[in-house]
Structures are given as structure tokens and as C-alpha cells.
Structure 1
Amino acid sequence: MLSIIGLLTILIVVVLLISGKVSPFVGLLLVPIGGAFAAGFNLGQIGEFFTSGTQSVFSVVVMFIFAIIFFGIMQDVGVFDPLINKMIALTRGNVIAVAVGTVVIAAIAQMDGSGASTFLITIPALLPLYKRLKMNPYLLLMLVGTSASIVNMVPWGGPLGRVAAVLEMDVTELWRPLIQIQLIGLVLLVVLAVVLGYREKRLIAKNGEESRETDEDTSTIDSEDSPADKSAGYPKFYWLNVVLAFSVIGILVWGIIPAGFAFMIGVSIALPINYPKIQDQMGRIQAHAPGAILMATIILAAGSFLGILNGTDMLNSIATDLVNVLPAFVIPYLHIIIGVFGVPFDLLLSTDAYYFALFPIVEQIVTGFGVSSLSAAYAMIIGNIIGTFVSPLSPALWLALGLAGLEMGKHIRYSFMMMWGFSIVLLGIAIAIGVIAI
């Protein structure tokens, strides 16, 4: 019964997010509360689950608020404009080249293993370029998320660390056979980016934007930013702003201090440099705060959602019961089946529930039929990891949506099938080259 209630709770939330009938805040908060009541928990217990869940995402909320304000100020003063203009000049408005570049940039940014930092680095820099070229911002999010997911198979990424802990083995040994999968995956993603870029090019042409591909100087394309928001009066501080932006990003990658603290320091330095008057400083905060606060409330609601699902033990029950209800003849291939449906599982289970609850059960069952523990691990990792950034259970994805000003439901509709299909292809390749044994 607990699994049924949990599945219904998650299904209702996903349907509401996709349909856009209610705000994410409402769906993520009220639906799991109703599910917890239906499961027999009282208000006091639900309150404890809420506290646990929101505390787990509090650092993300702090980082999010000040990251939005910081990058908003950096965009106001035109820090990313030369980079955007240079990329436009190099590609001459070629959306295919931009799509391929997005994959490469995201892969490099993800080398630190942090999805949040990848989105913080790539989206503020690339989103204005996508807007200038009239490219779909959901394509940006899908390409960055998929590229980051492939690279996230590194030992210092979360999934491999969890699996290594379950198998009690060295994470580097677990990673080595996956290097070839990562390389193949990035090559395939570049090919997909070319295909999607070509499709995007046709859509832009269909909408009367053929001039983006002509020989005219595309660097003169008007930005959607209001001139009033630019610090045109302080051009002499441009390079100081560039140094500040890259210093904050460097500290973020280095990880010497919490990300939220780094962005707080960045904001406190950027404001007086560019806006000497106190009223101007407050004006910039007021200009960027609404979007940051809105998404911060959604992240807190997502934390409450996860806290309730974990606290009520719904996620662990779902993982256990999904295995128990399967017919006997599929059991020897259970790791492959779970891998094929790994991306949809991202909509139902948190990363911890998938690797700490579902994986040990699957591994124990299939090893009884002669399947190695490593094959089970690789099937579940490769099948699931691509869906990391299409799941409403991912705090980093909410951060990305806030940075890009996009909606979760539309992102799922746009990206889910492509990411799931890509995951299945990558899983098939892993089987074909022997990384996964059937």
C-alpha cells in the first residue's frame, strides 16, 4: 500500500508539472502532504519530514538566490557580450555549430562532477546567445544536461561513488571500463547536436529568421536586455568584472568554500564596483530578486517533496516492490530491464533510492543467475544516469530552470523522449562491446 501511495503521489506531481495546471510550488508541496496523510502519518511527523527535506536543499537555495543576482549583474554590465559576439562571429549565426559547442562546453564544465556548477557556468553564458539566434532554450538545457550526465560517470561523481559503496570496491576500478562509454556517448551526443541543430535551423528559417544564416554582421543583432539595465556609464570596470566573474567561477570549481558563500562575496563586490549609489545597488537587487526568490521557493518545495517521500519510506518501498512483482522469467535479465527503464525511474526515485535501495536488490537477484555484480552495476548506471537532469527530483535541474527562466513541465515534454532514447542506445552499445554481460 505504501508503494501504491508513493507511485500515485509521484505520478500526480509529474502530471501536474507536465500539464502546467498548477505552479510547481503548489504541486510539490500539497500532493506529497496528501500522500503522507493517506499513508497514515500525522501532521507532526510530516512536519519532521519537511524539516529534514528542506534542510537538505537549504545550501542550494542560498547558492541559487545569490547566483541569480550575481550572474544577473554580470549580464547587466555586459561581461558575456564579447564571448557571445565572438561565438556568433565564428559561427556566423550557424545554429548547428552553436549546438555542438554547447555539448563541448558542458562536458568541460562538468569535469568537477557538480551538475549545479555546470549549469551555473554554461547557462548564463550561452542563454543570451541562444536568444539572439532565436534558438529554443530547451535545446540548450537538454544538451547541457545530457552532456553533463555522460561526464558525470567520473569517480568523483555521485552515482559511481554510491555504487562503489554498495559493492565495497575501489571507485576508480569501477570507472575504468566506463571511460570508453563516456567517449562514445560524447561523440554520439555531438552527432545528435548536429541533427537537432539542423532541425532548429529549419524551424528558425520557417519562422522567418533566415537572415541568421546570411553573411551580414550578426554581431549587430539586438539583445533582448533593456539598455537601461546595462552599466554603460562604467565601461572602465569591464575587465575588473571579467576577473571577478572568472574568480567566482574558479572558486566554485575549486570548492574551497561553499558555493553560496562564493556568490554572496561576488555580489557584495560587484554591486559597489558597478553601482556606486546605494539606490542603484538596491535597484539591481530588486530587479533580479523576484526570479531568484520564485525559484528558491520551488526548490524548498522540492526539498519538502523529497523529505516526505524519504521520511515515509515510500521511495524504498517502491524500489523493493517493483522487483517483487516481476515475473520469474525476466529475473536473469533484470539488470538490463531496469537499465532500459532507467530514465523513467528518475521520475520516480531519487538518486539515493535508486542506488542504495533498488540496486542492491537487483544485484543480489541477478548474481544468483550467474550475472556479475559489475554487469548489474554498469547496466543500472548507464541506463539511469542520462535521465539525471530531466527529473523533478534533481535540485540542480531546478537551479538550471531558474537560471534559464524555463518550466519543468515543458522541459520534460521537450527532452524526456530524446534523453531516454539516447540512454537506450548507449546501453545497447555497452552490451555490444562487452561492458555489460547478458
Structure 2
Amino acid sequence: MDSIKHWLYDYLVSSGLSENSAKYLNMLALLLALIIIVFVIDFITRKLLVKAFAQFASVSKTNFDDLLVNNKVPRNIAHIIPLLIALVFIREVFIDFPAFENIVERGLQVFAIVLTLWIVRSLLNTLKDYLKTLPRLKDKPIDSYIQVFMIFAWLGGFMSAIAIVTGIPFLTFATGLGAISAVIILVFKDTIMGFVASIQVSINDMVRIGDWITFEKYGADGDVIEITLATVKVQNFDKTITTIPTYALISDSFKNWRGMTSSEGRRIKRALYIKQEGVKYLTEPEVDKLKEIQLITSYLETRQKDIKLYNRSNSIDKILLLNGRNLTNIGVFRKYIDSYLKHHSAINKDMMIMARQLAPTTQGIPLEIYAFSSDKRWENYEYIMSDIFDHLMAALPYFDLEIFELPSSSSFKASLNDKF
């Protein structure tokens, strides 16, 4: 071995070259030969290992090995053998130059740390991709946990590399690092907050990938497509992407629509504002006329009998409609809404159905519809809700009622024309 190492040296010295120059040329020749050997072995090892993994993945039933190949795990592992060869023979190359040997050896040790981190990252990415294929973990923030682990891994690798370069023992260096911990906390403040937030979000099951959330502060209204350590990405319904800090999910208020999507219906909660001046008692002829509306015929007949019986038994003077019990047009219309909703094919009959009157406002009397559509898809939901209110607004004149709306310029012009 010694004869091989010094073959060029002996040859150059015998040719009349100085010993010092012969040592440098011998070192350069050995270094070039080692580099060529390392690259050749790396190429062959990488090709063989990647091919072997690919063939094994093609015949296996699980997709985990396919993900290993996709994340370049075999490719990174293949670098280990050439690195070990370089570490073993580097001393022989620089045998006459101990200072160079120390520098290059430390450089290779640092590269070994980086290579280890590459392999760990590839394995973790493979694990992440595999876990995302499992139905019960598909909506979990796996990216956050992978990122946390990699942060600690890179931090440990960085500290180890500095310890190798400076020659300081790792434990001594780690102990001294406590003095600058405050600076590190300041630099990684968002990361630390995001880490804590991601744990709380996961434990409390606040947000999952695929959830529809509304976050007014950040202008987000759409589906969660990614949860990482620092951010949550929301694809809005106009296909734009809103990025929200993860810690904002626990520090601010937002709305998660998961309860609606997992329920049996989507809520309809909207009001018609009725003109107050149109509200009145109904006379018997008007009640008889409204009996022609099939949805409330039975109701009106029953109510009319009950009211007549009550007024007769209590000797109520019906010269004035105000006396005794009476039906009102807004009350009958409210009952009509209730019956209409209960007969509507798109309304879930197993969930609450209610037509209620809210407190009067300066814009009229609100008649609120509270029900749930069976179809929760946004487009169909909007169609169902519009269909219901189209019908009810068209039905209002049959009850001598009107929708309140502020007067337009044409209303003022018509009023002026009437006066002059």
C-alpha cells in the first residue's frame, strides 16, 4: 500500500524533482484518483440501489416503497458508501499534509451530518405522504409535526457542525448555547407560536383539511387545503388563496362550517320585511276567499269554527272586528309560509321548520323563515332559498300585504306629478 501511495513520489524524485514538489504532486494525484473512485462508486451504487427499490416497489402491494422512491430515499442512502470510502482513504491522501487532512476530514464529517439530515427529511416526507393516504389521518395537520421534527433535527445538525468545525465538544457547545437562547426564541417566535397553536388545533379538533371556514379578519371564506406549522392555507370560493397564521386560529374568532356539512341539512334563515300599514283583521268574506288557497284551507276552516264558537259563547259584539278573536292577514300568511315549507320537497322535514315574526323595525315587520334545506351544496342551496322567497314574495298580494322598500327617485317624481 505504501509503495502505491508513494509510487508517483518516488518516480518524480528519481526524475530529479525536488522532494517538496514531489509530495504536492503525489498528494494531488492521489486526491484526483480518490475523487474519481468516489464519484464512480457513487454513480454505480445510486443506479443499483434506485433500480432495486424501483423493481421492488413495482411488485409490492403497498405504496410506501413507491413513496420512498418518489422522495429520493434510495438516492440519498446511496451516498453513504462513497462517503465512508472517502473518510477511510482521505488520511492516506494527505499523509504528508496533516493540516490539510484535518480540514478535509472535518468537511467530510459536516457533509455526513448534512447527508444524515437529507435522509431523515426524505424518510419523514415519505411517512407524511403515506399517512395522508390513510382515511383517518387525511385531514390531520401532519405537515406541522414533520416540520417541528425537522426544525429540531436541523438545529441539532447545525450545532453538531459548528462543534466539529470549531473543535469544541458537542455538550460544551450545547451548554454555551443557553446564553443566546433568548435570541433564538426571538428569531423563532412565529415558529414556536405556530407549533403550540398547531398542537392545540389538532388536540381540540378545531380545523381539519377540507373544512370550510370563514375568517373575516383575514378575508378567508373557503376550504382549508393545507395546515403547516406557521400557516393555514384557505382556498376561497373565487379560487384565490388566503394564508392565515396558525396561531390566529386560537387567538381570533372564526367560523367552521363542519357542523353544517356533517349535519342533515343547511340552515335557511332570512326574513321578509312587511309593510306595517298593510296589516289588518280579516272579514268573513276575505277568509272565505283565502280558503281557496289549498295549503291553508283546512287550517282556516278549523280556526274559523273555533273563533266563531268562542265569540258566540262569550257574547262578543262583532260590529267592530276589533272585538273578540279574529284572524289577521299577516297571521294567516305566516301559517301559509309554515305549510308551504312543510310541503316543499327540498326542505328537511326532520329538522326545525318555523316561520316567526320578529320585533317591528323602521323597515317594517320581519317575517323570518327558519328551516333547513336537504341539499347542502352551495349552488343548490342558493337555488332552493331563492325559489322559496320568489314564491313567497309573489304570494304576498293574495293576503293584501306588501314588501317594504325605500322609495326611489321615480316614486318622488310620481308623487310630484300627482300634486301638480
Whether these two folds match at TM > 0.5 is no
Q: Which has the higher strand share?
A: 2
TM-score between the two structures when normalised by the length of structure 2: 0.21
TM-score between the two structures when normalised by the length of structure 1: 0.20
Which of the two has higher C-alpha Rg? 2
Q: Which has the higher helix share?
A: 1
Larger RCO: Structure 1 or Structure 2 (Cα < 8 Å, ≥ 6 residues apart)?
A: 1
